[in-house]
Amino acid sequence: MTKPFSLPEGQPIIFDGGMGTELQKRGLNQDPAVLNLTAGEAIISIHREYLAAGADILTANTFGAYSHKYDNASDMIKAAMSHGRAALSRFHEEAGEGWANGKWLALDLGPTGLMLEPYGDAVPEDVYKIFEKAAQLGADYGADLILIETMMDLAELELAVTAAKKTGLPVFATMSFDKNGRTMMGTTLDNMAFKLEGLGVDALGMNCGFGPEAYVEPARKLAEITKLPIIVQPNAGMPLPAKPDPARPGEFLPASYSLSAEDFAKAMAAISAAVLGGCCGTSPGHIAALAGVYPR
C-alpha cells in the first residue's frame, strides 16, 4: 500500500545520488538494470549507504529497464523494487524507526533511447506502452512515487508522464538542459513548465548535464515561471579523464568527477529548490554533505 507523500515545510527533500558509478566502484561494470538480477546485495548496500547519508528518497535501480530492450525487463523492475524495499526495511530495523519518518522509494524512468517521429521511426503509441508497462510494474511492486529523469525530448516526456499519472502515484519530472537553458531537442524551461503543469506533475526541474553551479540561475528562473516544487539533481561537477588501473593492466579506474563532497554541498547551498539530490558521480559522501547543510 502506498504511503502518503508530501513535501516538508522550510527545508528540501533530499534524494540519493548516482547508482551506476557506485556499482563501478565495486567492480560491477554491466548495465545497472541487468545487475538487479545478479548483484542484489550490492544494490541494497548502496541504497542503505544513501539512507544513512540522509537521503529521504531512494531511487530504484530501474533506469533503462524497458521491455523493448530486455525480454526480462519485468523481472529487472521487480528485483529493483525489492532491493529498494529491502534497504528501507533494514534501515528502519536498525534505526528502530517506523515508516512514518518519511523515507520513500521512487521508480526511476529515463529516456527509452528511441527517437520519436518525425525525427525517428518510433511511434508514440508504442513508446507510451513501454512507459505504461514499466510504470505499472513499479506501482505494483511498491513504488511510493515515480521519478522521470534525464529527458531531452518534451514529446517523450509527455508520454512518460501520462503513463506514470495513470498509476495514481505522485510524479516528479526532470529534463537535462545545456548552459543556454535548452535540452538537446530544443526544449526551454518555459516549454517544460507549461507542459508539465498541464499534465499535473507534483514537482519538476532539471538533472544531470553539469555540476550545481550551472543550475543556480536556471533554478531561479524556473521559480519565476512555476509555483510547483522545483527539483535540482546535478552531477558531481564534470567527469575527469579516465585513469588506468595499476592493479589491472589494460583496465581503467571507475569514473570520477571534479567536485568533492564538500564542494558539491557548498555549491548546492546556493540553489533554491524544494527537492535536491545528485546525479552522475555523486556518492553517499556527497549526499551526506548535502544533507548536512539542512540538519533535521
Q: For residue 6, is it within any domain?
A: no
Tell me how many domains the chain contains. 1
Of 43, 155, 41, nearest to 108 (Cα)?
Answer: 43
pLDDT at 249: 76
Count of Cβ atoms closer than 10 Å to residue 8 Cβ: 12
Contact present, 60 and 106 (Cβ < 8 Å)? yes
pLDDT, position 253:
67
- List, for residues 62-112, the tens digit of each pLDDT value: 999 999 999 999 999 999 999 999 999 998 888 765 444 579 999 999 999
Cα Rg for the chain, rounded, in angstroms? 18
Give me the CATH number covering residue 165. Answer: 3.20.20.330
**How far is it, in rounded angstroms, from Cα 288 to Cα 69?**
34
Confirm whether 4 is domain-assigned. Answer: no
| Peptide bond connecting 118 to the previous residue in cis, omega within 30 degrees of 0 | yes
Q: Is residue 8 part of a domain?
A: no
Angle of CA points 12, 79, 123, to nearest 5°: 80
Q: Is residue 166 part of a domain?
A: yes
Q: Please write the tens of the pLDDT for every residue from 184-205.
A: 999 999 999 999 999 999 999 9
Whether residue 2 is contained in a domain is answered as: no
| Domain span holding position 108 | 13-293
Q: Is residue 152 part of a domain?
A: yes
Report yes or no: 113 and 74 within 8 Å, Cβ to Cβ: no
In degrees rounded to 5, what are phi and psi of residue 244? Answer: -60, 145
Q: Is the pLDDT of residue 177 over 80?
A: yes
First to last CA, the chain: 27
pLDDT tens, position by position, 139-176: 999 999 999 999 999 999 999 999 999 999 999 999 99
Secondary structure class of 81 (helix, strand, coil): helix
Q: Tell me which residue has cell 569514473.
A: 255
